[in-house]
Structure 1
Amino acid sequence: MSNENLKITILFGSYRIERNGLRVIKYLDSHLKERGVSTTIVDAKLEKLPLLERRYSEYAADKNLHSDDKALFERLKNISEIFKASDGFLLVAGEYNFSVQPGLKNLIDYFLPEYAFRPGALAMYSMGAFGASRGITNLRGIMGEVGMSSLPSVHYFPQVHVSLDENGKDVENRYEKQTKKFLDELIWHAKALRGARSEGTPN
């Protein structure tokens, strides 16, 4: 079955100087596009998202926004529209102190209904040997709380600074089998839930 018109949004929340997760994004983005999937990358650092004060829905409901809030509101509105048009999410995440990167958590928290009844897949990376596996437990809980269906498969990228080059190329041909299973699962769930949403969702 064709993947035409299937839309996956990639979420990224690293604010570090050396952002090795960009290697993972380039790698997975290219593989999704090879499968005919439309992708959009939402990078919290590039969006200049400050620490959360109010959710997007609260800004949208405020008819008297201050000038400083209006610029943020427009950025959030654009992200909200991207999320609402998405059939699924791909979270590219590292691990900070056994937990979630604060920038990614902050990005997720700005929104809520946009995630409902859509799958979320996890691609975890680190410079160490464990591929940020210790950060998954908290992240899965967050995904479930906001309404994302967390996929069973996780794509790990240990020693990402060695296994992927700056252009996202798998220099050691390490990931081909894992990537196929991971993206097959994401695309299957995205299609299945898109079809189910078209018939209505629980109130």
Structure 2
Amino acid sequence: MPLKLLVLYGSYRHNRAGIRLARYAVAQLNARGHHAELIDAREINLPMLDRMYKEYPPGQAPEAMATLAAKIREADGFVFVTGEYNWGMQPGLKNLTDHFLEEWFWRPAAIISYSAGRLAGARAAVAWHGTLSEMGMVVISSTVTVGGIAGALDADDKPTGDGGHALEATFPRFAADLEWWANAARRQRADTPPPY
């Protein structure tokens, strides 16, 4: 049965190379028979966190926030595509994520990291691990890392060069790991109500 998957991306920069990687992930997951959707923090444009979704009285949250909350609740799993900014997380993606809490619970999260340099966003991926776990998600062990992002995918989101070759080689196992956890969590949620 197809999974509902959200691919979340958070760069607000003018010339965003990582958006190609996010669109690539959506295309690959859809090609595997799932319903993957890109959630672009810049397009949703939530304000800096003032109140979480749950802190608004019913029906009073901004429309974009309410729409996204529904999509998160309906999803079977999440893919966070994150760049690395000065050894840390992209603030746009972190801000988007923090607007919600219980909506994320009891589903797997997967991390794809990238950077302009050779470490491929690995430090940001490590930072996201603890954050996503604290927010009630199970973070899968498989990751995708892409260094030299500007040269790893072309303008049509097609992998190129060594970075693109590595992406194509690692993505199938990454996707299979996410599928396994998303299907397991879906069955468990259907069988047993969450403990809280």
TM-score normalised per structure 1: 0.90
Q: Deviations over 1:128-185 (max 9, x none)?
A: 1110111122211110111011111110011111111122111233322211110010
Higher mean alpha-carbon deviation, 137-146 vs 73-82, is at 137-146
Unaligned runs of 5+ in 1: none
Answer 1 or 2: higher relative contact order, Cα 8 Å, separation at least 6. Answer: 1
Q: Identify which of 117, 123, 129 aligns with 1:140.
A: 129
2:186 corresponds in structure 1 to 194
- 1:100-111 matches, cutoff 5 A: 100-111=89-100
Secondary structure of 2:166's partner? coil
Higher mean alpha-carbon deviation, 157-166 vs 77-86, is at 157-166
- Tell me, yes or no, if the aligned pair for 1:26 and 1:167 is still in contact at 8 Å: no
> In structure 1, how many angstroms separate the alpha carbons of the residues matched to 2:166 and 2:135?
33
- Tell me, yes or no, if the aligned pair for 1:165 and 1:171 is still in contact at 8 Å: yes
Higher mean alpha-carbon deviation, 78-87 vs 136-145, is at 136-145
Give the fraction of aligned pairs with identical amino acids, expressed as a percent.
35
> In structure 2, how many angstroms separate the alpha carbons of the residues matched to 1:126 and 1:189?
27
Q: Identify which of 109, 113, 116 aligns with 1:120.
A: 109
TM-score normalised per structure 2: 0.93
- Tell me, yes or no, if the aligned pair for 1:52 and 1:109 is still in contact at 8 Å: yes
| 2:49 maps to amino acid | L
RMSD of the alignment, in Å? Answer: 1.4
- Tell me, yes or no, if the aligned pair for 2:49 and 2:99 is still in contact at 8 Å: yes
1:41 corresponds in structure 2 to 38
Q: Per-residue deviation at 1:124?
A: 0.3
Unaligned runs of 5+ in 2: none
> In structure 2, how many angstroms separate the alpha carbons of the residues matched to 1:167 and 1:197?
38
